[in-house]
């Protein structure tokens, strides 16, 4: 009898997780779909750490008529430091 309850609980848990994962996948799909609309923003290369950042980032520096984009204040400062030496 105890085993029966255990099996039933396991089945219920399985069903619960199945629907939970399904819901999560649908949410992820929705998320990536809505993300496609924002893809119009051009991605720029962070000259310091190498990651990609959106063109609309507030961390950017204009140097020799070229605009450099950064992922963070830290990378921006590092770049300025390196390029304003001497």
Interface ranges with Zn ion (CB under 5 A): 46, 48-49, 71, 75
* Closest residue by Cα to residue 54 from 38, 65, 76, 66: 38
Cβ(44)–Cβ(69) below 8 Å:
yes
Toward Zn ion, which CB reaches closer, 17 or 52? 52
Minimum Å gap between C-beta 41 and Zn ion is 17
Smallest separation, CB 43 to Zn ion (Å):
13
What is the closest distance, in whole angstroms, from the C-beta atom of residue 82 to Zn ion in the complex?
A: 13
Which helix (H) or strand (E) segment is 76 a member of? helix 73-83
State residue 21 phi and psi, 5-degree precision. -65, -40
Choose between 22 and 45: whose C-beta lies nearer to Zn ion: 45
């Amino acid at each position: 009898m105890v085993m029966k309850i255990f099996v039933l609980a396991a089945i219920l848990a399985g069903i619960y997780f199945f629907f939970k994962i399904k819901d999560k996948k649908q949410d992820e799909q929705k998320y990536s779909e809505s993300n496609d609309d924002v893809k119009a923003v051009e991605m720029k290369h962070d000259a310091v750490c190498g990651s990609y950042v959106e063109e609309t980032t507030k961390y950017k520096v204009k140097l020799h008529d070229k605009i450099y984009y950064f992922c963070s204040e830290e990378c921006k400062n590092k770049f300025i430091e390196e390029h304003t030496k001497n």
